[in-house]
Structure 1
Amino acid sequence: MQTLLFERDVQRIADDITGPITYQPDIVPPSLAATWFETLREQGRWHESSRMMYERLVGVPRLHGHYSVSDPALPEVLRHVLAFVRQHVDAPFNSIGLNFYRDEHDSVAPHNDKLHELVPHQPIALLSLGATRTMIIRRKKPPHLKTELELEAGSLLLMGWNAQLHYDHGIPKLPYPVGPRISVAFRVRPTRNAEGW
């Protein structure tokens, strides 16, 4: 598993056997994080989608977008973000996923990434921009230990490939107003799947 190149202020959420999962706040200067957020909000290729749940079609409670790193249409801002993340994480990222949580009503249910859509033993890096949102990280096996992690603007969450076997993660709805947030997720997909994810 590739790791953070710089370990300053890194919080370890899970150990190397079941994770690792690490969190590093303030990796991006506030003014730059704000600029990236505004640019992605305006220029991102945002989509709405639906999915079957409880035998009915429901809207996914957030906007999303996907880019291949090799896509000639990859926005310039994402090229800068990718270069920045690569200074901190040694991994051959080839896929960028975006999620736009517009307000407190947007969320993502607890889940783990599908391992067949990832290159084994490569990490997932998640850069947060905009408003702070809580991520719930929960161990799958008893005693189901749970961490509530505040993902701040300019922070980086790094999850090991094996963490998907042992933990679920999600962003719950909130009972109070909160501003918009964009997550930028970097993954290493098998070459045949890098396009369109």
Structure 2
Amino acid sequence: MTHQQTSLFATGAPALGSLDRARRTALGHGAWIDVLPGWLSGADDLFAELADRVPWREERRAMYDNVVAVPRLLAHYGAGEELPDPVLTEARDRLSGHYAAELGEPFVSAGLCFYRDGRDSVAWHGDRFGRGATHDTMVAILSLGEPRPLLLRPRGGGAPATRVPLGHGDLIVMGGSCQRTWDHAIPKTRSAVGGRISVQFRPRGVA
């Protein structure tokens, strides 16, 4: 069992900060990311609540000649479904308002991934099912629990990966052409790390 460490500002009642502090980085090819460390205070307490209360499911997928377990637990809340904590509804609404001029539509769904320890991961991919394959869009990710690095690289590789550590209430928003021209991943690690939950807010038709 791994030890779940906490951040000084990540305990207590969850509360959102200002999105005006987000720092934008242009990645190239029309892609960009906004990063805002510690957007949600009280994130570790929210992590513990979601880890216990969300109806997590384990998926299995075909890989070559085998069926293997997806190395993380999943949950999904579609448009109109109640999110598992009111602060997540507030986060979705705040993101929708802040990015309204650029995105032109609200964030409507929330996908949750539970990385239980360093053995859980997600391979290189972009959210290219649906409109993300052909249109500029945004995916906002709120990270709870232990930090894990999110890696980004141009689609197809060929360049060093950009590394963004995310945890304890950090926010990253991937925008512009990011989903179709860049890939991202959470790699496995042999380090003793605790759990992390990512909450991915998406607009309609992006998955």
Structure 2 length-normalised TM: 0.78
Equivalent-residue separation in structure 2 for 1:159 and 1:54 (angstroms): 31
Q: Who is 1:93 aligned against?
A: 107
Given candidates 76, 82, 85, the residue that maps to 1:76 is: 85
Q: Is 2:23 the counterpart of 1:10?
A: yes
Q: Who is 1:106 aligned against?
A: 120
Say if 1:6 and 1:88, in contact at 8 Å, map to a contact too: yes
* Structure 1 residues 182 and 89: alpha-carbon distance in aligned structure 2, compared to 1, 3 A threshold: farther
1:114-193 aligned within 5 A: 114-118=128-132, 120-140=135-155, 143-190=158-205
- Cα deviation 1:95-116 (Å, max 9, x = unaligned): 1000000001100001111242
- SS state of the match for residue 58, structure 1? strand
Shift of 1:79: 2.2
Identity %: 35
Q: Who is 2:65 aligned against?
A: 55
Q: Who is 1:39 aligned against?
A: 49
Q: Cα RMSD over matched residues?
A: 2.4
- SS state of the match for residue 154, structure 1? coil
Q: Is 2:33 the counterpart of 1:21?
A: yes
Structure 1 length-normalised TM: 0.82
Q: Which runs of 5+ in 2 are unaligned?
A: 1-17
Shift of 1:89: 3.9
- SS state of the match for residue 48, structure 2? helix
Q: Who is 2:12 aligned against?
A: none
Q: Which moved more, 1:114-123 or 1:157-166?
A: 114-123
* Structure 1 residues 128 and 166: alpha-carbon distance in aligned structure 2, compared to 1, 3 A threshold: same
